[in-house]
């Protein structure tokens, strides 16, 4: 049978066609616009996602035996607020995960409701990118739109709804809304009340590997798919990527270098970092995970290459980098503010340490290293909890760079395993569809059979020592300039 994984990203939707043995038959990508109506704001039109998905599904399956298509599932950008009215029409553009407009609402939740209460209700504290502050912002700033809300959804769940007609979400994506009781895997009645919404306005909760229903007949007809194709709940992009890299079960680690960057640690048991510096979420394998998330990762390199240097030849620029661990230039990768562990939407990208002999290659290297150092910030929090991490998987667009993988391995001082498929969320989505359709008994079984490590980047002891020194210097920069961000941010 054939299974489709839909990776609904921030810049594009990537669709993947996989068979029951894990072989990828086709991959299609469809881009769509990203809107910045004000500095620090970030929006997209859900209608653009839907158009991209439908076009992509047609192209993806044009040359396959459509009768063999059994299931469709998802990995999707998290936290985005999609609001539907009584006619199931989108009320306003979706407010995305990297949108920073909700500082007032975030401060209210953390300081008035209180971080202890939030952690008690949801296992997490408020971050500007989470969904609950967006709901409060809409209630306060767009009351006419807020009054129209029939259903609140997350980005990938809007696509699942359009395919199945079912209002649904999964436990991993719901965990990032701040209205979900992660420990007990149910909606938090206290948080719904705080946000001024009812349980009737939020979707039904599923495990990531559960089918929410069959494809709608009219959609099946348009695509030429069987009427019994299962639409499967899927997962937030990081949990789906973790499935796609085999980061399931207990004590496994994955680093994602996508538009955002994450360090993801899977666990069989529920746990909360006492300072809530890491997110405590439900995992797509039926268990839990801890995650540190930075808002700008591979997007930092894309910004530097595309907008500043003006080149698309990323490999040629990285080829000029020769001396690792000795760069005198540092870069704070906070182009969209920052989440873990600083929780500061006013933080901004910052270069420091340039001199008259600083080269273009030094600046490029600083961008790559800055992202790695910021990931280490969260890595250090995980280590402080007694979690021993000796190796990690890696995925995302940035993982295609051999140099960046080498930097990550040495900045963290751990082995970095490269897997056969670097498709992350899309592959994980297809695997979840296969589990829902009975191809595998569990997510862990699917991962054990389908995910293959093809290379390992080993840290070099001498380089690790150099990077330990560089990281110690990096770690002092943010606390020193933190107050400046509040005065220079527009």
Q: Which of 132, 413, 387, 153 is nearest to 277 (CA)?
A: 387
- Give residues with Cβ within 8 angstroms of 371, minimum separation 6: 257, 261, 294, 296, 297, 298, 300, 301, 333, 398, 404
Answer positive or negative: Cα dihedral of 446, 171, 386, 255: positive
Cα–Cα dist 378/147, whole Å: 39
Cα–Cα dist 165/218, whole Å: 11
Is 79 annotated as ligand-binding? yes
With contact defined as beta carbons under 8 Å apart, do 82 and 155 qualify?
Answer: yes
Cα–Cα dist 141/76, whole Å: 27
Cα–Cα dist 364/151, whole Å: 44
In whole angstroms, what separates CA 399 from the centre of its chain?
15
Is 289 annotated as ligand-binding? no
- Number of other residues whose CB lies within 10 A of the CB of residue 173: 35
Out of 157, 181, 214, 237, the active site residue is 237
Cα–Cα dist 38/208, whole Å: 34
Does the annotation mark 107 as catalytic? no
Max alpha carbon distance in the chain (Å)?
Answer: 66
- Using CA atoms, how far residue 192 sits from 102, 122, 132, 187, 322, in Å, is 17, 11, 9, 8, 53
Residues belonging to the binding site for substrate are 78-79
Residues belonging to the binding site are 78-79
> Where in the sequence numbering do the catalytic residues fall?
237
């Amino acid at each position: 049978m054939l299974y489709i994984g839909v990776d609904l990203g921030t810049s594009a939707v990537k669709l993947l066609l996989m068979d029951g043995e894990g072989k990828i038959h086709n991959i299609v990508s469809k881009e769509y616009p990203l809107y910045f109506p004000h500095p620090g704001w970030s929006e997209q039109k859900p209608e653009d996602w839907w158009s991209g998905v439908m076009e992509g599904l047609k192209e993806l399956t044009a040359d396959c035996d459509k009768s063999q298509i059994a299931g469709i599932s998802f990995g999707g950008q998290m936290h985005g607020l999609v609001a539907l009215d009584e006619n199931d029409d989108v009320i306003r553009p979706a407010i995305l995960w990297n949108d920073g407009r909700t500082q007032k609402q975030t401060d209210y939740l953390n300081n008035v409701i209180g971080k202890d209460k939030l952690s008690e209700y949801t296992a997490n504290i408020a971050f500007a990118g989470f969904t609950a502050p967006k709901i409060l912002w809409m209630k306060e700033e767009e009351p006419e739109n807020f009054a129209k809300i029939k259903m609140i959804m997350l980005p990938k769940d809007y696509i699942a709804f359009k395919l199945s007609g079912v209002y649904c979400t999964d436990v991993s994506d719901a965990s990032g809304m701040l209205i979900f009781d992660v420990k007990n895997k149910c909606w938090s009645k206290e948080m719904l009340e705080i946000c001024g919404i009812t349980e009737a306005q939020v979707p039904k909760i599923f495990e990531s590997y559960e089918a929410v229903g069959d494809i709608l007949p009219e959609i099946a007809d348009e695509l030429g798919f069987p009427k019994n194709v299962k639409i499967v709940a899927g997962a937030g992009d990081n949990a789906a990527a973790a499935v796609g890299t085999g980061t399931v079960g207990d004590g496994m680690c994955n680093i994602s270098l996508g538009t955002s960057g994450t360090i993801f640690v899977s666990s069989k048991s529920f746990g909360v970092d006492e300072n809530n510096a890491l997110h405590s979420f439900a995992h797509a394998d039926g268990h839990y995970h801890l995650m540190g998330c930075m808002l700008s990762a591979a997007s930092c390199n894309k910004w530097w290459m595309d907008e500043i240097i003006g080149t698309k030849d990323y490999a040629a620029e990285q080829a000029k980098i020769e001396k690792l661990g000795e760069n005198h230039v540092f870069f704070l990768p906070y182009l969209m503010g920052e989440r873990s562990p600083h929780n500061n939407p006013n933080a901004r990208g910052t270069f420091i340490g340039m001199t008259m002999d600083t080269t273009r290659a030094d600046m490029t290297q600083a961008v790559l290293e800055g992202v790695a150092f910021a990931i280490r910030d969260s890595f250090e929090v995980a280590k402080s909890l007694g979690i021993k991490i000796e190796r990690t998987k890696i995925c995302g667009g940035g993982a295609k760079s051999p140099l960046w993988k080498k930097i990550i391995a040495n900045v963290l001082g751990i082995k970095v395993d490269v897997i056969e498929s670097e498709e992350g969320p899309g592959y994980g989505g297809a695997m979840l569809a296969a589990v829902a359709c009975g191809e595998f008994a569990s997510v862990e079984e699917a991962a054990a059979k389908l995910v293959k490590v093809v290379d390992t980047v080993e840290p070099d002891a001498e380089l690790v020592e150099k990077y330990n020194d560089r990281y110690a210097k990096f770690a002092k920069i943010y606390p020193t300039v933190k107050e400046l961000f509040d005065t220079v941010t527009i």
